[in-house]
Amino acid sequence: MAKAAKTAIKTKDQKAAAEAKNWSKVIKTVRSPKTGAYTFKEAIVHKDKIKEYLAS
C-alpha cells in the first residue's frame, strides 16, 4: 500500500512532493497543572521551526 501512495505522489506533482518533505508532524507532551496528567499535542510544523515549537 505504501508503494502505491509513494508512486502516486511522484507522478502527480514533483514540486508539491518536494515541498511536503519540509514539514514534520511533532508530538509534544504537556502536563496538566490541574491534575498532573500528561496530554499530547500534535502539530504539523515546518522543519525550520521545530525547535521553536518545542520550546514554547
Q: What range does the domain containing 42 cover?
A: 22-56
Q: Does residue 11 form part of some domain?
A: no
Q: Does residue 17 form part of some domain?
A: no
| pLDDT, position 13 | 74
CA separation for the pair 35, 44 (Å, rounded): 27
pTM assigned to the model: 0.59
CA separation for the pair 52, 9 (Å, rounded): 29
Q: Does residue 33 form part of some domain?
A: yes
Number of H helices, E strands in the chain: 3, 2
CA separation for the pair 12, 18 (Å, rounded): 12
Q: Does residue 13 form part of some domain?
A: no
| pLDDT, position 12 | 67
Q: Does residue 5 form part of some domain?
A: no
Over residues 21-52, the pLDDT tens digits come to: 899 999 999 999 999 999 999 999 999 999 99
- The set of cell numbers assigned to 4 is 502505491
Contact at 8 Å (CB) between 15 and 23?
A: no
Q: Does residue 48 form part of some domain?
A: yes
Structural domains counted in the chain = 1
